Structure 1
Amino acid sequence: MLNPQWLRTFTTLAELGNFTRTADHLGLTQAAVSQHVRHLESRLGPLMLRRPRRLELTPAGHAFLAYCQEVEQADKRLQLRLSEADAEHGEVSLISPGSIGLSLYTELLDLQLASPGLVVRHRFAPDDEVLDAVLNNRYELGLVSLKPDDPRLVATLFAEEPLELVVPAHGKGHEWSDLQRLGFIDHPDGQAMATRLLSRRFPGHPGIRSLPLRGFSNQIGLILEPVARGLGFTVLPCYARQAFARQEEIRVVEGGASVVDTLWLVHRAEWPLSSRAQLALEHLRRRGKFRNV
């Protein structure tokens, strides 16, 4: 059996690409790092080529790196199983779309304050990345906007999230001419969301591409900043709007047809949720913010 320290040395060296940085990162001497690699190569054959300015993995090196990553994931699963009876210590991992993630993350931080033994790990990601992360055990919980049909996953209704037309606090948005005067603040999903909502609110009008573009941001927490400053309007999911700190500087245009997205909670079907994940979901249920939890 290979020494686990050798595996850690190799994966770190493959990531950093430098013997000196690897030694510093692991608290070892450079000679120790070289020795670990020699031990591995005496068993497995050449794993990397030493170039003057970089290291290059051989095909055997790539295969061994994949093996190291599998061992690391197996170790994480083992630690999860061994510690799952302790609901207030360990990691709560969640990957979700950005809009609802803004609300979820702060709620989970409140849980961490109440149970300091917990560690919250959250990532914003689109649906396909969420599914891949949950299926490959990088995150225990995930949220997606389309219910998956993969038998390896359990999917339960989590919440409904309406799209909202958001304008500056003193702006208007009931007429198409109001939107023409304001102009559009775009974001990565902006045109798709705006098309879905505005085509129902303003049937017969030429669509979002006909409106002047006033700005763009790919940071979901900043999309409403130009709106609050009077620079334009946007269309966002309600959880993203609710997370904005200065609600008094923006306004949701009510009335008209609505568009509501459904969010699904997913996790692996082959094993039960850890007690920490169950605690987190119970916390969200008690807060009542996500009524379908």
Structure 2
Amino acid sequence: MLDGMDPHLLRTYVTVARLASFSQAARELGYTQSAVSQHIAALEQDLGAPLLTRRPVVPTPAGERLLEHAGPLLLRLDAARADVVRIAAAPRHGLTLATTPTALAPAVLAALPPAGVVLRVLTRAEIPAAVATGAAELGLVDGLAAPSDPLRLPDVAPLTTHGIAEEPVSVLLPARHPLAGRTGLRLGDLRDARWLDAPDAALPLAQAHPATAGGAFRPALRYEGTDLRTLTALVAAGHGLALLPRSAATGATGTVAVPLTAPRVVHRTELLHGGAPAGAAGEVVRGLLSGGTGRG
């Protein structure tokens, strides 16, 4: 991004590109359509390159490249604002916690205050941004990792993370699956199995690829939701296998959870926050950090 680029112009450009419409962007941003056009023209003049074709409204190659930079840059600006506001503001009595569906372990639920909590189930990619921009005071993310290794999280802002839980991983199969009676399964032996591609409900297959020495999985169905009941129903109906933490896999109707014996990975859950959490958020952090390790 060039020195002196106006973030208001950049935000207008991102909105126009996302909506593929000057008029819709004007309505969303609260500007006139003329003002939106002036913003785009000023940005194009500043960069010396056309960013959008007008009919249809589509980013040019230069515009596509700018979009790759714009998202992280704008997120950093929003995170900086939220961080400063967080320091200056009085502690909140309530708490918004952003979480994946598989990160809500019993210890987490026990640490929550009895009232004033809002739980937002988001995708793994959305949670760091939600915490960084102040949309949530705390975040819970999870995934596959070697024992005691931290998760690889996007660098959206200076956030502090704490490892708060690790548990075994299970392969969830239909109850009538030929492998349902096994006492353990090696992931490398399941390359030819039918899998559910459910990155936001199950543990992501993308995280399992390196663990199987590059062996490709064959997704039979893609599920883009976050509901665990829907995921387990799909497994029970024979649409594919899924990787889940043991606590989430056990007891689902019509399925069997078989322990994953190789590779040696665990389901790891990490707590995210910005700055020094206070109020209800601070109480939850203190309640969860017995034995946890933080990294910032």
Distance 2:165 2:288 in 1: 10
- Spell out the pairing of 1:116-131 with structure 2 (5 A cutoff): 118=118, 120=120, 122-124=122-124
Q: Return the TM-score normalized by structure 2.
A: 0.53
What are the superposed Cα offsets for residues 121-167 of structure 1, whole Å, 9 maximum, x if unpaired?
52146xxx99xx68x968955323211498x9856351313426666
Residue of structure 1 equivalent to 2:189: none
Q: Retained in 1: the 8 A contact 2:173–2:255? A: yes
Pick the aligned partner of 2:56 from 43, 49, 53: 53
Residue of structure 1 equivalent to 2:168: 161
Q: Per residue, is there more helix in 1 or in 2?
A: 1
Pick the aligned partner of 1:12 from 10, 15, 18: 15
Pick the aligned partner of 2:247 from 239, 250, 253: 239
Q: Give the deviation of 1:225 after TM superposition.
A: 1.9
Residue of structure 1 equivalent to 2:81: 78
Q: Retained in 1: the 8 A contact 2:167–2:246? A: no
| Higher deviation after alignment, 55-64 or 73-82 | 55-64
Residue of structure 1 equivalent to 2:97: 92
Q: Give the deviation of 1:111 after TM superposition.
A: 5.1
Residue of structure 2 equivalent to 1:144: 143
Matched residue pairs, number? 242
Structure 1, unpaired ranges of 5+? 177-183, 197-214
Q: Retained in 2: the 8 A contact 1:111–1:280? A: yes
Q: Give the deviation of 1:115 after TM superposition.
A: 1.6
Q: Retained in 2: the 8 A contact 1:164–1:235? A: yes
Q: Which amino acid aligns with 1:145?
A: L
Q: Give the deviation of 1:12 after TM superposition.
A: 0.6
Q: Return the TM-score normalized by structure 1.
A: 0.54
Q: Give the deviation of 1:9 after TM superposition.
A: 1.5
Structure 2, unpaired ranges of 5+? 184-192, 198-203, 212-218
Are residue 35 (structure 1) and residue 51 (structure 2) matched? no
Q: Retained in 2: the 8 A contact 1:221–1:240? A: no
The 3 A distance-change label for structure 1 pair 121 and 173 is: closer
Structure whose alpha-carbon radius of gyration is higher? 1
Q: Retained in 2: the 8 A contact 1:23–1:29? A: yes
What is the identity percentage for the equivalent residue pairs of Structure 1 and Structure 2?
Answer: 19
Q: Give the deviation of 1:79 after TM superposition.
A: 0.8
